[in-house]
Amino acid sequence: MKQDQPRPTPRAGIMDIEAYVPGKSTAPAGVTKVYKLSSNENPLGPSPKAIEAAREVAAKLDVYPDGTARRLREAIAEVHGLNPANIICSNGSDEILGLLAQTYLAPGDEALFTEHAFMVYKIYIQAAGAKPVAVKETDERADVDAILAAVTPKTRIVFLANPNNPTGTYLPFSEVRRLHAALPKNVLLVLDAAYAEYVRRNDYEAGIELVGSSENVVMTRTFSKLGLGGARVGWMYGPAHIVNAINRIRGPFNVNATAIEAGIASIRDRAHIERSVTHNEKWLGWLSAELIGLGLRVTPSVGNFVLIHFPDDKKHSAAAADDYLSARGYILRRVTGYGFPNALRMSVGTEEANRGVIDALKTFLKS
């Protein structure tokens, strides 16, 4: 077909969006064993109970799932002490983030996020035809005063990843409350708490209490980081009027039958979650200490990953380290797109993977 012939064209702005690029999952040819440490997955895998629940669904894949995911919402509500009517389940928490942007943003509106925040915020804001506004962080952490200074009469949403990916830093809940108190009442505060289960800090709260007492706050969560990344299941807790609005545009049967049953089993398997969190707490501290001992800077993290900063010299840069580690089967995440051209993000892995990366880096940095 001739290129000058008429054809469908995307609406203005769509082709300006930079597509999201996930962490790589393969090693160079010839590498026999691969340790994928690029996507913050649970090194202990899914709950055995979730695996069994998913297997039981296999014989019923001809039947549509419950379009409201009622039993999954009830399981989430049971564990967290919530009203299931205020919960929406989704195809990963990413879907909810996109639905929020689609529902509350229009051309000419603005939405805020911090400069090193999850890249999908910008994508969804642009997809809604609104203007994305990146707010400077302080010491690789969200700055409440900077966020408030960026609010204008056009601001409609503030996306706050807490903890943040890829830095692993977080805001104490007193700061989250201060941010909310100063926002205009017509601005929606989205608390993305994807890594909440891993945080062990007395001054942290995922957002449940604030959502319950506010009309302009929602909290999003995911099952991905605790073992169900492949199932793609997330959820949102929010005021009834926001749940009502999102349900009007949410796709029918947006959570598949396997994800629903695996999610129910997973969230009720508190022993598996506790094992996962305990493993992470041990090895997050160990990795951070070992990396600092190698002379590398590590951004203090409360998630299930660490952000590793490399020397400025080309021989020992993040790119060189990535090539070196990949050739040995250790797959980390380049984070240039997040504003860190000389850093790698490493998921906390198994003991074998964690020790292997440290040993490999010791040799690399001596070369």
Summarised one tens digit per residue, pLDDT across range 267-287 is: 999 999 999 999 999 999 999
> Tokens 């380049």 correspond to what residue?
334
pLDDT band for position 2 (50/70/90)? Answer: low
Instruction: Report residue 342 as tokens.
Output: 């000389």
Instruction: Report residue 88 as tokens.
Output: 């929406």
Could you give the CA distance from residue 91 to residue 254 in angstroms, rounded to a whole number? 6
Residue range(s) occupied by CATH 3.90.1150.10 in the chain: 14-45+271-366
Residue range(s) occupied by CATH 3.40.640.10 in the chain: 48-268
Q: In the predicted model, what is the mean pLDDT of residues 178-182?
A: 98
Task: Say which CATH topology domain 14-45+271-366 has.
Answer: Aspartate Aminotransferase, domain 1 (3.90.1150)
Strands (E), 125-200: 131-135, 155-161, 188-192
Q: Are 347 and 39 spatial neighbours (Cβ–Cβ below 8 Å)?
A: yes
Q: Are 358 and 290 spatial neighbours (Cβ–Cβ below 8 Å)?
A: yes
Could you give the CA distance from residue 184 to residue 289 in angstroms, rounded to a whole number? 42
Q: Are 249 and 33 spatial neighbours (Cβ–Cβ below 8 Å)?
A: no
Question: What letter does residue 155 receive in the DSSP assignment?
Answer: E
Could you give the CA distance from residue 152 to residue 96 in angstroms, rounded to a whole number? 24
Q: Please tell me the predicted confidence (pLDDT) of residue 21.
A: 82
pLDDT tens string 297-354: 999 999 999 999 999 998 999 999 999 999 999 999 999 999 999 999 999 999 999 9
pLDDT tens string 198-248: 999 999 999 999 999 999 999 999 999 989 999 999 999 999 999 999 999
Residue type, 4: D
Longest dimension (CA), the chain: 64
pLDDT exceeds cutoff 90 at 265: yes
Alpha carbons within 13 angstroms on the beta-carbon side of residue 232 total: 9
Q: Please tell me the predicted confidence (pLDDT) of residue 1.
A: 52
pLDDT tens string 116-133: 999 999 999 999 999 999
List 88's β-bridge partners, or say none. 236
Q: Please tell me the predicted confidence (pLDDT) of residue 3.
A: 63
Mean pLDDT computed over every residue of the chain: 96
Question: Could you tell me the pTM of the whole model?
Answer: 0.95
Is the Cα dihedral 133, 120, 298, 169 positive or negative?
positive
pLDDT exceeds cutoff 90 at 30: no
Instruction: Report residue 182 as tokens.
Output: 């100063």
Q: In the predicted model, what is the mean pLDDT of residues 137-165?
A: 98
Q: Are 316 and 295 spatial neighbours (Cβ–Cβ below 8 Å)?
A: no
> Tokens 């895998």 correspond to what residue?
45
CA distances from 300 to 20, 139, 287, 288 (A): 25, 10, 11, 8
Q: Please tell me the predicted confidence (pLDDT) of residue 20.
A: 86
Q: Please tell me the predicted confidence (pLDDT) of residue 23.
A: 78
Closest CA to 167 of 313, 311, 27, 307: 307
Alpha carbons within 13 angstroms on the beta-carbon side of residue 72 total: 30
Question: What letter does residue 45 receive in the DSSP assignment?
Answer: -
Q: What percent of the chain has pLDDT over 70?
A: 99
Closest CA to 286 of 294, 180, 208: 294
Q: At what angle do helices 92-104 and 240-249 cross, to 10 degrees?
A: 100
Task: Compute how many other C-beta atoms are within 10 angstroms of the C-beta atom of residue 139.
Answer: 9
Question: What letter does residue 141 receive in the DSSP assignment?
Answer: B
Task: Say which CATH topology domain 48-268 has.
Answer: Aspartate Aminotransferase; domain 2 (3.40.640)
> Tokens 């493993």 correspond to what residue?
279
